[in-house]
């Protein structure tokens, strides 16, 4: 509904301005940006394949069902996709030295690391969004993005604070958290508590500044 839309991918952040007055006097550079937007959002494909009946209804959320849970799920998946792009950009290869959606028992079986300390005495089968294996370390990674506030943010911050403290007791294991979103504005105190005890917590800006290459060694 807004005339300005901020988008983020591995090329960085781009603010698209779809103000009608601006569109009427667009430069070639602006047009290239709009084409990029249409390609990357899949709108060209939606139109070409006649997947949707009404483009206006689609972008207004009628066909996609933009309920709050749907937004949270999409935001989380988009953050996962973004982090994965940066992992690949840093030179890691899926199935070789980075893995997606690994359970604790998979990590133990593959590299022989005892994760009893973070499995709630063996009763929890925690699944990590990504795992990166380097010569000397196994990095377990969680990702999320919160566009809105709520109790979930405080719960997540407390949970990851505990996970960070527990993982610090395990040799050869490092817990890394990538998170972002304006939703954290309403949960700053809980986030700060986690930040104070957790060495590796980063946002999208850190990803753009090549934090993956700096940390995962």
With beta carbons less than 8 A apart as the criterion, state whether 174 and 128 touch.
Answer: no
Any idea what DSSP says for residue 94? B
Longest Cα–Cα distance in the chain: 64
pLDDT of residue 26: 61
My answer on whether 145 and 206 are in the same domain is: yes
My answer on whether 24 and 79 are in the same domain is: no
Integer Rg of the chain from CA: 20
Q: What angle do CA 181, 203, 38 make, to 5 degrees?
A: 65
pLDDT of residue 128: 95
pTM: 0.72
pLDDT of residue 130: 97
Residue 81 CA to residue 87 CA, distance in Å, equals 10
Residue 198 CA to residue 99 CA, distance in Å, equals 22
pLDDT of residue 64: 53
My answer on whether 176 and 129 are in the same domain is: yes
pLDDT of residue 94: 95
My answer on whether 41 and 109 are in the same domain is: no
My answer on whether 97 and 20 are in the same domain is: no
My answer on whether 27 and 125 are in the same domain is: no
* 89: CATH: 3.40.1350
Give me the tens of pLDDT residue by residue for the chain, a chain 217 residues long.
667 777 777 677 777 887 777 665 567 777 788 888 888 888 888 888 877 777 777 666 654 554 445 444 555 578 898 899 999 999 999 999 999 999 999 999 999 998 888 876 555 678 999 999 999 999 999 999 987 777 788 888 988 999 999 999 999 999 999 999 888 988 888 889 899 989 999 999 999 899 999 999 8
My answer on whether 42 and 74 are in the same domain is: no
Find the helix or strand (DSSP H, E) in which 99 lies: strand 98-103
pLDDT of residue 190: 86
* CA 12 to chain centroid: 14
Q: What angle do CA 104, 105, 109 make, to 5 degrees?
A: 120
My answer on whether 113 and 180 are in the same domain is: yes
pLDDT of residue 17: 80
């Amino acid at each position: 509904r807004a005339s300005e839309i901020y988008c983020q991918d591995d090329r960085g952040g781009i603010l698209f301005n779809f103000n009608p007055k601006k569109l009427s006097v667009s430069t070639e550079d602006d047009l290239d940006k709009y084409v990029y937007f249409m390609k990357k959002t899949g709108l060209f494909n939606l139109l070409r394949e006649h997947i949707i009946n009404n483009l206006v209804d689609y972008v207004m959320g009628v066909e996609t069902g933009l309920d709050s849970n749907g937004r949270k799920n999409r935001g989380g998946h988009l953050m996962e996709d973004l982090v994965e792009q940066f992992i690949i950009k840093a030179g890691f290869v899926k199935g070789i030295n980075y893995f997606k959606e690994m359970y604790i028992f998979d990590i133990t079986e593959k590299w022989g690391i005892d994760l009893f300390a973070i499995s709630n005495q063996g009763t929890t089968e925690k699944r990590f969004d990504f795992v990166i294996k380097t010569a000397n370390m196994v990095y377990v990674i969680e990702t999320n993005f919160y566009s809105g506030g709520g109790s979930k943010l405080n719960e997540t911050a407390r949970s990851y604070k505990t996970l960070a403290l527990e993982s610090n007791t395990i040799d050869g294991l490092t817990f890394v958290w990538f998170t972002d979103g304006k939703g954290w504005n309403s949960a700053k105190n809980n986030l700060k508590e986690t930040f104070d005890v957790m060495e590796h917590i980063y946002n999208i800006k850190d990803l753009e500044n090549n934090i993956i290459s700096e940390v995962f060694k």
